[in-house]
Structure 1
C-alpha cells in the first residue's frame, strides 16, 4: 500500500467518525432528501478522486524535484557543507568528499575550521564565529588542506538558514580558486617587475625583484639569475636562500663555466640534470635545472635558472611563464643598465659640479678676502695719508692690521743701523692701548729681530712654548704663536711688523702672505713719514738760516746804520751844528722804528701763536712796512676788504703765502709795483698777489722761488692755489679756500 492509499483510508475513518457523532434520525430522511444527499455524496466522491489524482501527480513531481536537488547537491562542481551554529559539519556533498579526500562520516565529526591549512585555521574559526552576528552572505579566502592531494586556495561563501525557532544552520560553499590566485600572483609579480623597471633601480635590485616574482608564480624549489659579461669574461650568479629570512647573494664566476648555455636563443630553453658548472651544494639540493635565456636586442645577456627535484617537474605552461618573465627581465636589465649609466654620469657630473662649486666658493672666498684686504689697504693708505707724523702712522697701521689678522699683541719696530730706533706696541685689552717705546738698544738683544734682519725673511712659529729655536728667547711668556715680517725700504730692512697670539696654532700661511703684503704698503708709509720728519727738520734748519739772513740783512744793517747816525749826531751837537741835529734825529727815530718792526716780524715767525692776537690786516700791514723799510723804491698796494674771523690755521697760511710771495718779489722779480688783495665772497676767501717783475718759466722751474712752500701752505688748509708766470710778464698768485675750513 502506497502513501496515497494510506491517506485515503485515514480520510474514510475520519468521515465515519463524523457521521457517527452527527447521526441523522431516520424520520428526518425522506426519499427526496435521500436522493439529494446521495447525489452530493457522489459528486463529492468524484471530486475526491480528482483531488487524489492531482495529489499523486504533485507528489511524483516533488519526489523528482528532491532527486534533482540531491543530484545537484552531490555532484555540484563546488564543495557544499551544512554547518550547525557551533561550526560542526552536518552535511557534505560528494564533491566535498572527493576534494578534501575524506569519508563523509569523518567530515561529519569535524569543525569547519579543520578544513583549512593549519596556519589558516584561526582565520576560518573567527570567520565562522562572526557568521552568527550577521545575516548577509559572507566570503573568506584561505588555503585549505586535502588528504592525499595538494593543498588548494579556496573561496568560502556562507549564508545563514533558520532550521527551527531557536536554531540556525549555515550553508557553506568552498570553491577552488588556486588557478585564479596564481594568476593574480603572477600579475602582481609582473607588476612589481615593471615597477622595478620604471623606478630606475639598479640591475641588482631588478634581479632581486625578479627572483621574488619567480618564487611567487612558479612551483619550483629554486630560482636564480646568471648574467653574462663577455668583455670581462665573467658571469654574475644571483641567487637567494629560501629560509624564513631570505638573503640574496651574487657571486662572480668564470664565463667559460657557462659555455654550454651561451648558444641559447629567444623562445628556447634547456633542462640539465645535475649540471657540473653550478656549485656542488646547489646541485645537491636541486638536482634538475631549467635554463631560460634572457635576450636583449637579440643578444644573450644571461639565463634564468630554476631548480627542482627531477626534470619532469618542469611543465610546459610553467616554462612559458618563465619565458615571459625572462622577456620582461631582459627589458628591466636593459633599463637598469641605462639607469646605472645615467646615474654614473649624474654622479660624475654631480662630483664635477661639487668640485667646481668648491673651487668657485674658494675663488669667491679668495676674491672676498682679497677685496677685504684691498679695502683694508686702501683704508690704511687713506688714514696714514691724513698724517705724516711717524707715530700716528704706525698706530693707524696696527689698528688697521686688526681687520685682516686677529692678534693679541702687535708691534712695529723701526731700526736704524743695528739699533732699535723706535717701537710702537699695541696690546689688545679691555681698553686697547698704544705704547711708544724708544729703547735705543742693540738689535742683538732681541734674537727674533736679529734673525729676521739677518735672514731677510719672515718667521712663523705656531708653538712657541715647545719651539727649540733660540730666536724665541725674549718673547713674552703669554706668546704661544708668533708671526714676524720684515719691512723693506728699497733693498734695506727698515724694521719689523710682528704679531702674536696667546693660543698655539693661531696663524696660517694665509696670514703670513697677508702680513707680508701689508708690510709692503707699510714700508712706503713709514718711509714717507720718516722723509717728512727729516724734511721738517731740514725745513726748521732752513728757517733758522733764513731768520739769520733776515737778521743780518735787515736788523743788523739798520742797527749799524742807527749806530753810525747816532755817532754823527753826537759830533754835530759837539760842533754846534744844531740845524742838522733835527734832521739826523728824525733819521734815528725812523731807523729805530724800522728795527722795531723787523724785530716784531721775526718774533711772529719764531712764535706763530702771536698771530691769533693780531688781525690779519694789521699783520699784512706790518709785513708791507717791513719790506718798504728795506726797499723804499718798491710800490706795494695792500687792499683788504672785510673778512670773517679766521682761525689761526688759515690766518697763518695766508700770512706765510703772502710773505713768501713778497720775498720772491724782492729777491728775484725786480718788480716796481706789487698788488696784494684779500676779499670774501659767497662762502670763500680769495687772496691775490700780483707783480710786474721779470717773471719766470713754470715748466723749467716748477719748484723754485719757494713755490712748493706756498703749495704746502695751501694744502694744509684745503685751499686751491694757482701760480701763473711768464718771462717778462710778471707773476700772479691766486689762492681760494672755503670759509668752512673742513680740514681744520
Structure 2
C-alpha cells in the first residue's frame, strides 16, 4: 500500500469503478479488475472464485499465481474445498478477513506441485450485492501474513463494487437469455404443432418432443417421464449424447427424491450436484446422460388425460455462475411444459377420436351389410325354397326362371360384398391415391377422370384419410347423382393437399343438403375424417347442376 492510503483508496475505487463499466462479460471484467487491483495495491497474486451454496465453485479469474498453483493446468484451483470456501458456504464469511494460511498453498508444498513463491497467507473477501452472495476474492503477497484493518476495508469496498457489477451483469445476461430462449420457444412451438399434426401416437410424439428440444433450445439433454397412479415412473423418451430413445422402462424412486417433489408440489425444481449424478443410476438414462451437464431442472407436465401427469427434465452444459441461466430457463421451462402438455393431451384426444371414427365405420358397415347383403341372402333363401316347391310340382319352366333370379341375386350380393371389403381394406393405394380412386370408381361402373397438380409424398394417415373420403364421395355419385362420369382432382403443394370430386348429376338443393348433413352417415363420415386430419370440407351443389366436394388438408413440412 502507498504512504497516503486515503488518496490511494480513492484512486483505487475510482479506477476499479471505471474498469467495471467497460464490459458486460463477467470473466473479462473480473480478470481486468483483478489486474488493476493488484497494480494499485502492490499485491502480487490474486484469484476469484464464483460459487453458490451448492458446494460447486469455479475459479474465473487469477493473476500471477505461483507455479505450485499452476500445476496440471491449475488443478489446485479447480479441485477440492478450502478454508475460505468452507466459511463462505457455511455463512461465516460476512466481511473481509485474514486467512491464517492457505490450504491450496499447503497442498502444493506437501505434494511438491511447484514453488509457492513465498506466499503462505491471503486475505479473503466475500463478493456480494445485498443478500446475494457470488463468491470470494483472495489476494496475497510473499511473506505477508497479516492485512491491516485499512487494507481489509479497501478490499471490502472493492468487493462490494465487484458484487454489484456481477449482479448487474447477471441480470443483463438473464434478460438476454430469457429473450433468446422465448424466441427459440416460439420456433419449438411451431415445429411441435406441425409434428403433432402428422402423428397422433403419443409414444412417437414424446420422442419427437425431446429431439425438438435439442434442436430448438439450448438444452442438449431432455427426458419425459410419466407418473403412474401407483407412484412409480415410466421413462417414455430421452435425448442425450446426440441420441433419442424410447425406453418405456418403469422404476420407483425414494419418497424424498427431488423428482417426487416436482410431482407433489407441482413446481419446477433444480437438482443438486449429488442428485444430478444419481440420475445415471436410473434404468434408461445410462449412456444418454451427458457427463458435462452443469445444471439439471425438472418441471411438472399437467395432463387432463392423465391426472397423475408427468415430468419434463432438461439439462444444460452452460455455467450457472457465468451465465445466470437458472431464473431465465425456469420461466421458459415452465412454458415449455405447458406446450408439451397441450400437445400430448391433443394427441390422446386424437387417438380417442380415431377410435370413435373406427367404431362409427364398423357400425355403418354393419348397417350396410344388413340393408344390402343380408336382405339379398334372405331373398336367395326364399327363392331357393320356391324352386324346391316348383320342382316338386314338375313346374320346370317356372323353376328355371327362379334359378336365374338366384344367380342374379348372388352376383349382386357378391358385388356388394366386394365393395364393402374394399372399404375395409384400401387395396391399390400403393399405385397412388388417384389410381386407387379411379379403379374403385370403375367397380361402381363410373368413368373417373383424374387430374393431378404438384408432386410430394403424402403422410400415410393423410393418404388413407383422403382415400376414405374419396370412396364415400364416389359412392354418393353412384347412388344419387344419376350420372356415370365424375372428375377427381388432387392438388399438392408444400403445405396443403386438396382433393376435389365433381359430377354434373342431379345435385341437391340447399334445404335438402342441410337436412342430409345431420342424417347422412356418409356426409358425417367425410366431415369427421377431414376434421381428424385438421382440414376443412366444402360441399357445393345445385339442383340439376351437379355437386362438388372439396377437401383441404394441411401437410407437415417436408
Q: What is the TM-score when the length of structure 2 is the normalising length?
A: 0.53
- What corresponds to 1:374 in structure 2? 186
Matched ranges for 1:193-232 at <5 A: none
Aligned to 2:486: 677
Matched residue, 2:108: none
Structure 2 residue corresponding to 1:595, chosen from 413, 420, 423:
413
* Alignment match of 2:441 (pick from 583, 604, 620): 620
Q: Deviations over 1:265-323 (max 9, x none)?
A: xxxxxxxxxxxxxxxxxxxxxxxxxxxxxxxxxxxxxxxxxxxxxxxxxxxxxxxxxxx
Give distance in 1, aligned partners of 2:401 and 2:233. 63
Query: Do residues 545 (structure 1) and 359 (structure 2) align?
Result: no
Shift of 1:497: 0.9
2:269 to 459, 464, 469: 459
For the residues of structure 1 that align with 2:557 and 2:399, how far apart are their CA atoms?
Answer: 57
Q: How far apart are residue 612 of structure 1 and its match?
A: 4.5
- Spell out, residue by residue over 1:573-619, the C-alpha distance to the aligned partner (whole angstroms, 9 max, x if none): 12111121222112111111112112212222222134547853341
Confirm or deny: 8 A CA contact 2:354 2:532 kept in the other structure.
no
Shift of 1:641: 2.7
Residue 209 of structure 2, aligned match among 397, 422, 425: 397
Q: Name the residue aligned to 2:31.
A: none
Aligned-partner Cα distance in 2 for 1:436–1:369: 28
Q: Say which one has the larger Rg.
A: 1
Counterpart of 1:388 in 2: which secondary structure?
coil
Measure the CA separation in 1 of the matches of 2:376 and 2:333: 62
The Cα shift of 1:620 comes to 1.6
1:457 match: secondary structure? coil
Aligned mate of 1:485, from 288, 292, 299: 299
Q: Distance in 2 between matches of 1:503 and 1:672?
A: 67
Shift of 1:537: 1.9
Secondary structure of the equivalent of 1:609?
Answer: coil
Count of residue pairs the alignment pairs up: 372
Would the aligned equivalents of 1:409 and 1:425 in 2 still touch at CA under 8 Å? no
Q: Say whether the 8 Å CA contact 2:536–2:551 is kept in structure 1.
A: yes
Pair 1:583 & 2:401 matched = yes
2:311: which partner in 1? 496
Q: Give the structure 1 partner of residue 448 of structure 2.
A: 640
**Per the alignment, in what secondary structure is the counterpart of residue 528 of structure 1?**
helix
- Provide closer, same or farther for how the CA distance between residues 588 and 421 of structure 1 changes in structure 2, counting only shifts above 3 A: farther
CA pair 358-521 structure 1, distance change in 2 beyond 3 A: closer
Q: Deviations over 1:622-673 (max 9, x none)?
A: 3x36xxxxxxxxxxxx44236579999788556532443466789xxx9684
Classify 1:743/1:708 alpha carbon distance in 2 versus 1 (closer, same or farther; 3 Å): farther
Corresponding residue of 2:68? none
What is the CA distance between 1:371 and its match in structure 2? 2.2
Question: Which residue, out of 182, 198, 213, partners 1:386?
Answer: 198
1:678-702 Cα deviation digits (max 9, x unpaired): 1569999742155444654888997
Cα 1:620/1:363, change in 2 over 3 Å: same
Correspondent of 1:535 among 350, 353, 360: 353
TM-superposition CA deviations, 1:112-150 (whole Å, max 9, x none): xxxxxxxxxxxxxxxxxxxxxxxxxxxxxxxxxxxxxxx
Q: 1:406 to 1:657 in 2, by over 3 A?
A: closer
RMSD between aligned alpha carbons? Answer: 5.2
How far did residue 732 of structure 1 move? 3.1
1:89-116, Cα deviation, whole Å (9 max, x unpaired): xxxxxxxxxxxxxxxxxxxxxxxxxxxx
Asked if the contact 1:604/1:611 (under 8 Å) is kept, the reply is no
| Residues 455 and 688 (structure 1), Cα distance of their counterparts in 2 relative to 1, 3 Å cut | same
Provide the rounded CA distance (Å) in 2 between the counterparts of 1:424 and 1:381. 20
Q: Using the TM superposition, give the Cα deviation of residue 558 of structure 1 relative to its aligned residue in structure 2, in angstroms.
A: 1.4
Q: 1:545 to 1:719 in 2, by over 3 A?
A: closer
5+ unaligned residues in a row in structure 2: which ranges?
A: 1-9, 12-165, 493-497
**Residue 543 of structure 1, CA deviation:** 2.0
Q: Structure 1, residues 219-264: CA drift from partner, whole Å, max 9, x if none?
A: xxxxxxxxxxxxxxxxxxxxxxxxxxxxxxxxxxxxxxxxxxxxxx
TM-score, normalised via structure 1 length: 0.41
Point out where structure 1 has 5 or more consecutive residues left out of the alignment.
1-203, 206-353, 626-637
- How far did residue 509 of structure 1 move? 2.7
Asked whether the equivalents of residues 509 and 541 of structure 2 are also in contact (C-alpha less than 8 Å), the reply is no
Counterpart Cα distance in 2 of 1:592 and 1:421: 58
Cα–Cα, structure 1 residues 425 and 671, in superposed 2: closer, same or farther, change >3 Å?
A: closer
Q: Which has the higher contact order (CA 8 A, sep 6+)?
A: 2
Kindly indicate whether residue 335 of structure 2 is the aligned counterpart of residue 517 of structure 1.
Answer: yes
Q: Deviations over 1:200-224 (max 9, x none)?
A: xxxx99xxxxxxxxxxxxxxxxxxx
Structure 1 residue 374: Cα displacement: 2.4
Equivalent position SS for 1:608? coil
Instruction: Please state how far the C-alpha of 1:516 moved relative to its aligned partner.
Output: 1.0
